[in-house]
A = this chain, B = another copy of it.
Amino acid sequence: MILARVIGNVWSTRKDESLRGLKFLVVQPVTLSYHEDGTPRLQEIGHTLIAADQIGAGEDEIVMVASGSSARQGLANNSIPVDATIVGIIDKETFEVRA
């Protein structure tokens, strides 16, 4: 799974019928890099994604996003056209204790 930061909501009035009722979030993929003093930081990388969310992630949280056919495994109905799903919210301390 990739790591991504939740950066906002997105609305889509006209969409595939099977997507009605699903919540979608705008997420920005991030990668782990390091400050000069060795402390880790999460740096933006690659392009913005729209991911389905069934966990209740909030703005600015760091989440794990599953892509491709695996993204559909995280949904109640796995025959819908979704290729990115938030499957976990990373505990804040995870990247703060590492140096």
Residues of A participating in the B interface, judged by any CB pair closer than 8 Å: 1-3, 7-16, 18-19, 24, 26, 28-32, 45-51, 54-56, 64, 66-74, 78-85, 87-91, 93-95, 98
Report the bound CA distance from A74 to B12 in whole Å. Answer: 16
CB pair B15 A49 closer than 8 Å: no
CB pair B1 A98 closer than 8 Å: no
13 sample A-B contacts, Cβ–Cβ < 8 Å, listed by A number: A1-B51, A3-B47, A9-B94, A10-B64, A13-B89, A14-B55, A15-B55, A15-B64, A15-B88, A68-B70, A69-B70, A73-B79, A78-B79
Q: Which secondary structure characterizes the binding site on chain A?
A: mixed
Shortest CB–CB separation between residue A46 and chain B, in angstroms? 7
A15 to chain B: closest residue by CB: B88
User: Of B46, B66, B89, B95, which one neighbours A83 at CB under 8 angstroms?
Assistant: B66
Given contacts A1-B49, A49-B1, A12 and B81 within 8 Å (CB-CB): no
